[in-house]
Structure 1
Amino acid sequence: MDIKKIIEEGSAIIGMELGSTKVKAVMIDGDGNVIAKGSYKWENKLENGIWTYSMDDIKNSVQGAYAKLLENVQKNYGTVIKKVKAIGVSAMMHGYLAFDKNDTLLVPFRTWRNTITGEAADKLTEAFNFNIPQRWSIAHLYQAILNGEEHVKDIAFFTTLAGFIHWKLTGKKVLGVGDASGMFPINDKTNDYDKAMIETFDGLIADKGYSWKLADILPGVLVAGDNAGVLTDDGAKLLDVSGNLEGGALVCPPEGDAGTGMAATNSVRVRTGNVSAGTSIFSMIVMAENLKSVHREIDVVTTPEGAPVAMVHCNNCTSEINAWEGLFKQVLELYGVEVDEDRLFDLIFLEALKGDPDCGGLVGFNYFSGEPVTGFDAGRPLFVRTANSKFNLPNFMRMQLFNALAAL
């Protein structure tokens, strides 16, 4: 079947992922072949000490990526997208998006990148006898409670970024189990939140007198293959500002970027693993059985079908590399060169292969933000050399790549 017919018959499938610096939209056919794609660049902001994206940022990024996808379809196939068979959304995990009963956001989105929940993470880890990292949603909620934040009493629902987008597309307040496991611990026997830990949490906050219990405000949990709703007409209008897209597409459970990375690398079976490198970097190892004790550097999450995974997550990976690439791009533009950024990255990364084993004595720290796994609450990127260091591009880029992997 020709691609134009697949698109016009509504047989194509769209996947969208909201990463930390880029939102990607990809259309495939029933065999997984890529038909079209589009992307939209965005960046988090540090506002009042909080790493965040605004609601407008989120809406504009989703619409922008879809618009680029549509532009690609129109250019290559001379048609528009009216219907699709299915849609899936994934996004950066964890963080804190809390809403009241009127669906109003109570405080600005607190992303995974924040290192402001140390007290809560420590107390919950002790109470649960289960590692709770700072970036997890439950740590953000409990820290807000410990801080005495006024908004907490009004919470009716809280979720992740993928859960928020899915809710707006379908009206369903659910999460895939992998993304849910980064909000609150999952019982891998039931593929649902750990009931004993929920009871423990409710006990910890019983004296606060909130009208809600934790189970009331968490998203529902689904595993891969479960029915997570359909694209509503309002969801279609949100996604496609041109107004051509119709509702009705099946929508899979929203997942976290860790789950999509595992699926993309075929690392969802027991004793398989992968490393995902982007703004953050993390390794994912699917375990044959759960950890027997708490390790603060290892987070227990799940695959998209609920198998336990040992995750080691570091907040910093490519941000410093991206900053230097941006500087090199500016220099080239001074010469009137139109820079292809993908090509520029290829060139400077390949230079690293020519560098000295010790990077010529160049030393760097890529901590753009705090790094809990090594005990840093805030980041300050550094580049250090002595007068006799071998300061050249191969050594510099080799050092940057070493930096990106060092914490992991």
Structure 2
Amino acid sequence: MSLDVKNAILSGKTVLGIELGSTRIKAVLIGEDHTSIASGSHDWENSLVNNFWTYSVEDIWKGIQDSYRKMAAEVKQQYGVTLQTIGAIGFSGMMHGYMAFDQAGELLVPFRTWRNNLQEQASSELTELFNFHIPQRWSIAHLYQAILNGEEHVANISFQTTLAGYIHWMLTGEKVLGVGEASGMFPIDIHTKTFNTAMINQFNELIASRNLPWQLQDILPQVLSAGERAGALTAEGAKLLDPSGELQAGIPLSPPEGDAGTGMVATNSIAQRTGNVSAGTSVFAMVVLEKELSKAYDEIDLVTTPTGNLVAMAHSNNCSSDLNAWVGLFEEFGKAMGMNLDKNELYGTLYNLALQGDPDCGGLLAYGYLSGEHMTHFEEGRPLFVRSSGSSFNLANFMRVHLSTALGALKIGMDILLKQEAVKLDEILGHGGLFKTKGVGQRIMAAALNVPVSVMETAGEGGAWGIALLASYMVNKGEGETLEQYLNERVFAGQTGEKIAPDAKDVEGFEVFMDRYKQGLAIERAAVTHLA
């Protein structure tokens, strides 16, 4: 096996995926069987500069080079060869945000990330104009807010892109984006798989009185779908990625994608009637739609798969942070009692206890709002635990209410899709920390959504693996082979994962809990108002 991998490395049969997440940059090199053969990562953090959350250009390249260097060092250590060529490379990054460049290719203002929430006026006006929900974090909202603010740099824009698009441009000279990533910049026409021309014209009319020297279509990147070639690594690009000079130019690159798209690929949930839910610090569900929604909803974002199919996204800012804090309190208690508790065992014990609780959580109520929650219209949050004298207050119900409330805001968004819009969903793939304790997060999620929830062993591979799979598809696909076929037959064949179907009593109990959750939002509002 080691010899096969070594030969694949020497003959350029490997594929590299690099994803820039909000706290970690990860590089994954995969072999011909699509499994990881080497990886490297780099931790980084955003900074608040002049009221904008940002990462510096220096930190971007330092992080990419460090993760690549660590991956290449692992190749050298494990297989005794120096990495000089690769079959294909793909880059992915956190979606949305704002990177605007002048004619000379200079960044006009520091990179503004998705995390900035200063685009409320732009978001509201564009949503009304297009009759299509434009979240604050989308690139077009950032651009329009800069226009509304009268920022001087706007007149000098020659090109606007995302983090992944910028890196791809620097390495290949190509101003392109994958359609999934592009769908977080500006609405996509799902028939043409590119930016919506009618909405571009509406935007140009909206800003006509500003007399800017460009029109929107002039500054946006070209949109490509999965499988299309997106340029090749230039000599300058090779040196930028690998300053050691070992990596050769000419390697083909796949269209740069967003972290939402790579998450869909990594969980094999890009086909219609499938979806995936990522549950950790925040929680979001992506559902591939069979048809367009009947109207725009503030609670639902519409993006696309890397192949251009329409995806509805329900996103909640808060999920497991408050739950983790309570587990930490029990760990502290254990230490005070002289017990040295293993953290995984502690989580497993407490989570499994939740399954012994009442389906409606015994009348208990909690909100894990460490931050604001747009799904329920809170600018700020206050974590709360509330019970009445008639509640059934025991440890099992206490754990169950905290697991349930972690999915409360998400359920509000998903109910719009599944109940109001009657979207059909055969199953949803779960990944993230909430599913680490086997069977527990799955069962609560199945109760919340009333949909079977599966967890695959590969779900922990993450977005860097997902973008590597997209790059592999580009160079290895057969004639007429779709991405869905490639993933089903070549990557995930035989992997069914662990599936849990919703239990009728759990579903009924969760609905009772949700009635209490919605009624109690007034308590959360009072806490935000009166508790500093």
* Match 2:75 to one of 48, 73, 76: 73
Is residue 277 from structure 1 mapped to residue 276 from structure 2 by the alignment? no
Mapped contact 2:373–2:381 kept (Cα < 8 A): no
Query: How far off is 1:121 after superposition?
Result: 0.8
| Farther-moved stretch of structure 1 (27-36 vs 175-184) | 27-36
- One-letter amino acid of the counterpart of residue 230, structure 1: A
Task: In structure 2, list runs of 5 or more residues that go unmatched.
Answer: 335-341, 411-532
* Match 1:44 to one of 46, 50, 61: 46
Query: How far off is 1:372 after superposition?
Result: 2.6
> Identity of aligned pairs, percent?
54
Secondary structure at 2:91 match in 1: strand
C-alpha distance in 2 between matches for 1:180 and 1:327:
43
Alpha-carbon spacing, 1:218–1:406, altered in 2? closer, same or farther (3 Å): same
Secondary structure at 1:199 match in 2: helix
Mapped contact 1:352–1:395 kept (Cα < 8 A): no
Tell me the residue number matched to 2:293.
291
C-alpha distance in 1 between matches for 2:186 and 2:155:
19
Alpha-carbon spacing, 1:142–1:225, altered in 2? closer, same or farther (3 Å): same
C-alpha distance in 2 between matches for 1:8 and 1:320:
48
- One-letter amino acid of the counterpart of residue 32, structure 2: G
C-alpha distance in 2 between matches for 1:118 and 1:167:
30
Query: How far off is 1:102 after superposition?
Result: 1.6
Query: How far off is 1:219 after superposition?
Result: 0.9
- One-letter amino acid of the counterpart of residue 313, structure 1: H
Tell me the residue number matched to 2:203.
201
Is residue 367 from structure 1 mapped to residue 370 from structure 2 by the alignment? yes
Aligned 1:163-242 pairs, distance under 5 A: 163-242=165-244
Secondary structure at 2:407 match in 1: helix
Task: In structure 1, list runs of 5 or more residues that go unmatched.
Answer: 333-342
Is residue 258 from structure 1 mapped to residue 257 from structure 2 by the alignment? no
Query: How far off is 1:74 after superposition?
Result: 2.1
Tell me the residue number matched to 1:64.
66
Alpha-carbon spacing, 1:105–1:321, altered in 2? closer, same or farther (3 Å): farther
Secondary structure at 1:2 match in 2: helix
1:57-84 per-residue CA deviation (whole Å, 9 max, x = no partner) reads: 2112212211221222122112221110
1:134-156 per-residue CA deviation (whole Å, 9 max, x = no partner) reads: 11110111111111112111111
Query: If you compute each CA radius of gyration, which structure gives the higher value, 1 or 2?
Result: 2
**What is the count of residue pairs matched by the alignment?**
397
* RMSD (Å) for aligned C-alpha atoms: 3.1
Mapped contact 1:94–1:160 kept (Cα < 8 A): yes
Alpha-carbon spacing, 1:305–1:78, altered in 2? closer, same or farther (3 Å): same
C-alpha distance in 2 between matches for 1:74 and 1:326:
40
C-alpha distance in 2 between matches for 1:150 and 1:326:
48
Tell me the residue number matched to 1:335.
none
Tell me the residue number matched to 1:139.
141
Tell me the residue number matched to 2:34.
32
- One-letter amino acid of the counterpart of residue 166, structure 2: F
C-alpha distance in 1 between matches for 2:257 and 2:333:
39
* Match 2:6 to one of 1, 4, 7: 4
| Greater helix content | 2
C-alpha distance in 1 between matches for 2:66 and 2:308:
32
Greater relative CO (CA pairs within 8 A, separation 6+): 2
Alpha-carbon spacing, 1:256–1:400, altered in 2? closer, same or farther (3 Å): farther
1:265-293 per-residue CA deviation (whole Å, 9 max, x = no partner) reads: 11111111111235543211111111121
Alpha-carbon spacing, 1:28–1:153, altered in 2? closer, same or farther (3 Å): same
Tell me the residue number matched to 2:477.
none
Query: How far off is 1:30 after superposition?
Result: 2.0
| Farther-moved stretch of structure 1 (29-38 vs 309-318) | 309-318
Mapped contact 1:365–1:382 kept (Cα < 8 A): yes
| Farther-moved stretch of structure 1 (187-196 vs 144-153) | 144-153
Query: How far off is 1:383 after superposition?
Result: 5.7
C-alpha distance in 2 between matches for 1:271 and 1:112:
28
Mapped contact 2:364–2:401 kept (Cα < 8 A): no
C-alpha distance in 1 between matches for 2:99 and 2:105:
11
Alpha-carbon spacing, 1:220–1:361, altered in 2? closer, same or farther (3 Å): same
* Match 1:129 to one of 128, 131, 134: 131
Alpha-carbon spacing, 1:120–1:214, altered in 2? closer, same or farther (3 Å): same
Alpha-carbon spacing, 1:366–1:345, altered in 2? closer, same or farther (3 Å): farther
1:154-191 per-residue CA deviation (whole Å, 9 max, x = no partner) reads: 11111111111111221111100011011000111111
C-alpha distance in 1 between matches for 2:118 and 2:158:
23
Alpha-carbon spacing, 1:289–1:400, altered in 2? closer, same or farther (3 Å): same
Alpha-carbon spacing, 1:39–1:127, altered in 2? closer, same or farther (3 Å): same
